[in-house]
Amino acid sequence: MNDRITTLDLNQGYMASGAARNKVLRNTYWLLALSLVPTVLGAWIGVATGITQSMGGGLGMIVFLGGAFGFIFAIEKTKNSAAGVPVLLGFTFFMGLMLSRMIAMVLGFKNGPELIMTAFGGTAGVFFVMATLSSVIKRDLSGMGKWLFVGALAIMVGGIINVFVGSTAGMMAISVAAIGVFSAYMLYDLKQIVDGGETNYISATLALYLDIVNVFQSLLALLGIFGGERD
C-alpha cells in the first residue's frame, strides 16, 4: 500500500514539474514573439532617422556594449517582478536601433529587402530545427554551456578587434563562427527549459533572443558580403 502511495506521489510530482516546464516554455515563446515587435520598431526608426549612422567604429561599440550590458543587468534584477517584461521589451527596442545600421547598409543594395527576408527566414529555420531537436534529444546538454560561453567570448573579442581593423575576411570568419556557436546556444537554451534547468521565462526569453539576434545579423552580414547587388 505504501509503495502504491509513493508511486502515486512521484507520478503526480513528475506531472506537476512537466506542467511547470511547459508553462515556462509557452510563456517564453509568447514573450519571444512579442519581443520582435519593438525590435522591428527600433530598426525602422533607426533606418528612417539615420540615428545610428554616425555611430561607427569605437563610438558605436561603446554605445552598444554599454547599453546591452546595462539592459541585461536590469533584466536580471527585475526578472521576478512586474517590471521585468517592460525592461526586456525596452532592451529589444534598443537592439532594433543597434541593428538598424547594418540593415540600412544592406538596404543600400539593389536586392537589400530580399537579403533581409532571406536572413530572417534562415534564422527562423535554425530556430525551428533547434526547437525540434531540443524536444527529441534525451541527453543532458548542460555540459555544453562552458564551451559555448568560451566560444561566444572569443567571437565578441574578435568582433571588437575587427571594428578597428575593418577586415572583410575577418567579418566573414566571425559571422560563420557566430552562426555555429549561437545556433548551438539556441539548442542549449531550449534544452535548459525543456529539462527544467531554466524556470524563469524572462531569463529564458532573453537568452533565446540574444541567440536569434546573433544568428540573424551574422547571416545578414554574410548575405551582404556574398549576395549584395550594387545598382
pLDDT of residue 13 exceeding 70? no
Mean pLDDT of 154-172: 86
57 versus 201: which is more confidently predicted? 201
pLDDT of residue 124 exceeding 60? yes
pLDDT of residue 39 exceeding 70? yes
pLDDT of residue 15 exceeding 50? no
CA–chain centroid gap for 72, Å, is 12
Q: Which domain, by its residues, includes 140?
A: 2-227
pTM higher than 0.85: yes
pLDDT of residue 205 exceeding 50? yes
Q: pLDDT band at 112, cuts 50/70/90?
A: confident
pLDDT of residue 6 exceeding 70? no
Query: What is the structure's pLDDT at 195?
Result: 86
For the segment 76-97, what is each residue's pLDDT rounded down to a tens digit?
Answer: 999 999 899 999 999 999 999 9
Number of domains in the chain: 1
pLDDT of residue 57 exceeding 70? no
Average model confidence (pLDDT) across the chain: 86
**DSSP per residue, the chain:** -HHHHHHHHHHHHHHHHHHHHHHHHHHHHHHHHHHHHHHHHHHHHHHHH-TTTT--HHHHHHHHHHHHHHHHHHHHHHTTSTTHHHHHHHHHHHHHHHHHHHHHHHHTSTTHHHHHHHHHHHHHHHHHHHHHHHHH--S--TTHHHHHHHHHHHHHHHHHHHHHH--HHHHHHHHHHHHHHHHHHHHHHHHHHHTTS---HHHHHHHHHHHHHHHHHHHHHHHHHHH----
Distance CA 90, CA 204 (A): 16
Mean pLDDT of 14-29: 76
72 versus 3: which is more confidently predicted? 72
